[in-house]
Amino acid sequence: MTRSEIINKVHGRSSMFIICRSKHELRICRPRICVDYRRVVNYMKAEIVSTGTELLLGETLNTSAHYLTGKLSLLGIEVDYHTTVGDNPKRLEQILRQAIERTDIIVTTGGLGPTADDLTKELVAKVLDLKMEIDAPSSENIKQFFSRRKAPMPSSNEKQAFFPKGSKVLPNPIGTAPGAIIEKKGKTVIILPGPPFEMQPMFDNYVWPELVSMIGPHVERMNERVLKVFGMGESSIEKVLDDLMNLPNLTMALLAKRAEMHIRLVARSTEITSGEAKMALDQAEEEIRRRLGNKVFGRDQETMISIVGKALISKDLTISTAESCTGGLLGAAFTQEPGSSKFYLGGAVSYSNALKQSLLGVDEESLKAFGAVSEEVAKEMAEGIRSKTGSALAVSTTGIAGPDGGTNEKPVGLVYIGFATANGVHAEKFQFYGERESVRQLTVQAALNGVRLYVKQ
C-alpha cells in the first residue's frame, strides 16, 4: 500500500492544487484525490478533445493537440488521451462525458464558430449541467469586430457571446470566438477556438498564466533531457541501459528517428526543489555517456550538424565536400545553420564520372579498375576537393542510393565515405538499408559523424 503525503499547499487563485508525495513521486494533485490515504495517489490527468470535421478528412493536420500537450507536460500535467471527433453533437457529447469521467482537465479546441454545427460550448454546458448565459463584454467585442470592418454583423455571430454559467471568458483578439475556463466539481474544462493562430495566443496569454498561478512555481521540478545517439539501434541501446530503464526517480524512453536514436529522460523528483531533478538528470546523463561512449553525439536542441559546426569552429578548421550519391545534401547540411561560412568553404557535386575527373582530378584508371563506388575513388575525391579548396578537412561520398544500379557485388545502399586531412586520407565502407532518400540521409549523417569523431580526437 502506498501512502500519499501532502508536501505543500499551493495558494493559487483557486487554491485547489496541492503538491503531494507518493512514494518517490511528486505530482500536482487535486486535494480531493490527493488526500486519499487509502490508495496510490491519482495524478492530475488531462485529455485534449479536438473537434472539427476538417481534421477527419485528412485535410488539416492536428498541430493544436501537439502544442497543448507540450505545454501541459511542462506543467507536470499528464496528458493521457488525445481524442478527435467531427462536428457531430451526439459523438462530441459522448466524448466530453467520457473525458470528464476519466480525466481532471479537459481542453477542447474547435466548435466555437457561428455556424449551426459549432456546438462545443453548448455541449459542455449540457454535460456539466449548466445553463448558457450571455457575456456582455464578449457581445460588445463581437459587435465592434464587425463595425471596425464596416461589415454588418450576421445574427449567427450572436451565439459566440453565450457561455456556460460561471465561465471565465477568455478574449480572442484575433477572431470573433472567445474561449472559456469552466470549473465544476473538481473538473476544469478549457474551451479554445480551432484555428491554431487564434488558439495559441489565447492559450499563451490567458490559459498558461492561469494554470501557472494555480500550480505555483514548482513546475520547474518536472525536468526533461534528450540524449541523441548515432550508430546504435533501439534494442542494442535497451540492452546496455536495461537496468536504468526503471529508476525510481527517472523515466527513460527510446525514440527512433531516421538516422538517430533519442533517449528521453524525465526526472521525477522526491523534493520540491528543481535542483534535485537536475541532479538526477545529470547523473543519468553521465552514466549513459559512460556506457555508450562517443555514440552519444548531443543533447536537447543540439543536432549533429550544430555539434560538428561548433567543433570545427572551436578548432579553427575549415572543411569542403565532394559528393556523388548525396548530390549536394552534405553541403546543404553543412550550410543549414547560420554562420556556416566560418568553417564550410564549399565543394563539388561530381555526379557524373567525367566531373569526378575534371572537377576533382580522380584518376580515370581508378574509375575503370575499381568503379565509381569504391574506397579508392572515395579517397581520390576527398583528396581532390581538399587540394582544390585548401580546406583543412575534406569529406567525400560515393555510393549506390538505389533503387536501381545495385549488383551482387555492389548492392543498393553500399556507400564509401572518404576523409582527407593534412595527415593523409582514408575511406570507410557502409552498407545502409532503406529507400533512396534514407540511404542519402544516412550517408550524410554518417559523414557528419565521421567528421565529429575526427575533430574530437
Q: In the range 419-448, which residues lie near a copy of itself by CB under 8 A?
A: 431, 433-438, 440
Angle between helices 375-389 and 353-360 (to 10 degrees): 40
Of 20-28, 107-115, 162-170, 205-213, the window that binds a copy of itself (rule: CB under 8 A) is 107-115
**Beta carbons within 10 angstroms of residue 83's beta carbon:** 18
Listed in sequence order, the residues at least 6 apart from 12 whose beta carbon sits closer than 8 Å to its beta carbon are: 213, 214, 215, 216
219 binds a copy of itself (CB under 8 A): no
Q: Return the closest-CA partner of residue 259 out of 400, 54, 122, 432.
A: 432
Taking CB under 8 A as the criterion, the residue among 111, 331, 418, 450 binding a copy of itself is 331
Using a 10 angstrom Cβ sphere, with 0-12 exposed, 13-18 middle and 19 or more buried, the burial of residue 173 is exposed
Cβ nearer to a copy of itself, comparing 274 with 353? 353
Of 5-13, 128-136, 203-211, 250-258, the window that binds a copy of itself (rule: CB under 8 A) is 250-258
Taking CB under 8 A as the criterion, the residue among 34, 68, 75, 280 binding a copy of itself is 68
41 binds a copy of itself (CB under 8 A): no
- Residue 443 CA to residue 330 CA, distance in Å, equals 8
**Cell matching residue 387:** 587540394
Taking CB under 8 A as the criterion, the residue among 58, 129, 300, 301 binding a copy of itself is 58
Of 25-33, 178-186, 275-283, 333-341, the window that binds a copy of itself (rule: CB under 8 A) is 333-341
- Amino acid at the residue 337: E
Residues 395-414 interacting with a copy of itself (rule: CB under 8 A)? 401-404
Residues 159-178 interacting with a copy of itself (rule: CB under 8 A)? 173-175
- Residue 368 CA to residue 362 CA, distance in Å, equals 11
State the nearest-atom distance from the C-beta of 165 to a copy of itself, in Å: 26
Listed in sequence order, the residues at least 6 apart from 192 whose beta carbon sits closer than 8 Å to its beta carbon are: 64, 107, 108, 109, 112, 170, 179, 199, 202, 203, 207
Residues 299-318 interacting with a copy of itself (rule: CB under 8 A)? none
Phi, psi of 168 (to 5 degrees): -90, 115
89 binds a copy of itself (CB under 8 A): no
Question: Is residue 15 a contact partner of residue 75, using CB atoms and an 8 Å limit?
Answer: no
Give the pairing type, strands 105-109 and 45-51.
parallel
Taking CB under 8 A as the criterion, the residue among 171, 186, 209, 339 binding a copy of itself is 339
156 binds a copy of itself (CB under 8 A): yes
Taking CB under 8 A as the criterion, the residue among 6, 134, 136, 255 binding a copy of itself is 255
Cβ nearer to a copy of itself, comparing 195 with 450? 195
258 binds a copy of itself (CB under 8 A): yes
State the nearest-atom distance from the C-beta of 341 to a copy of itself, in Å: 6
Of 236-244, 280-288, 290-298, 374-382, the window that binds a copy of itself (rule: CB under 8 A) is 236-244
Taking CB under 8 A as the criterion, the residue among 18, 20, 34, 79 binding a copy of itself is 79
Give the pairing type, strands 179-184 and 187-192.
antiparallel
DSSP secondary structure string for all residues of 35-51? T-TTSPPPPPEEEEEEE
57 binds a copy of itself (CB under 8 A): yes
154 binds a copy of itself (CB under 8 A): yes
Phi, psi of 346 (to 5 degrees): 140, -160
Residues 346-385 interacting with a copy of itself (rule: CB under 8 A)? 346-352, 354-355, 358-359
Listed in sequence order, the residues at least 6 apart from 407 whose beta carbon sits closer than 8 Å to its beta carbon are: none
235 binds a copy of itself (CB under 8 A): yes
Using a 10 angstrom Cβ sphere, with 0-12 exposed, 13-18 middle and 19 or more buried, the burial of residue 113 is buried
Question: Is residue 252 a contact partner of residue 265, using CB atoms and an 8 Å limit?
Answer: yes
State the nearest-atom distance from the C-beta of 188 to a copy of itself, in Å: 18
Taking CB under 8 A as the criterion, the residue among 18, 28, 55, 304 binding a copy of itself is 55
Of 20-28, 67-75, 120-128, 446-454, the window that binds a copy of itself (rule: CB under 8 A) is 67-75
Listed in sequence order, the residues at least 6 apart from 212 whose beta carbon sits closer than 8 Å to its beta carbon are: 75, 219
Of 33-41, 144-152, 202-210, 282-290, the window that binds a copy of itself (rule: CB under 8 A) is 144-152
- Residue 331 CA to residue 303 CA, distance in Å, equals 16
Cβ nearer to a copy of itself, comparing 111 with 182? 111
Helix, strand or coil, per DSSP, at residue 430: strand
328 binds a copy of itself (CB under 8 A): yes
Taking CB under 8 A as the criterion, the residue among 195, 298, 384, 450 binding a copy of itself is 195
Cβ nearer to a copy of itself, comparing 137 with 339? 339
**Cell matching residue 368:** 575503370
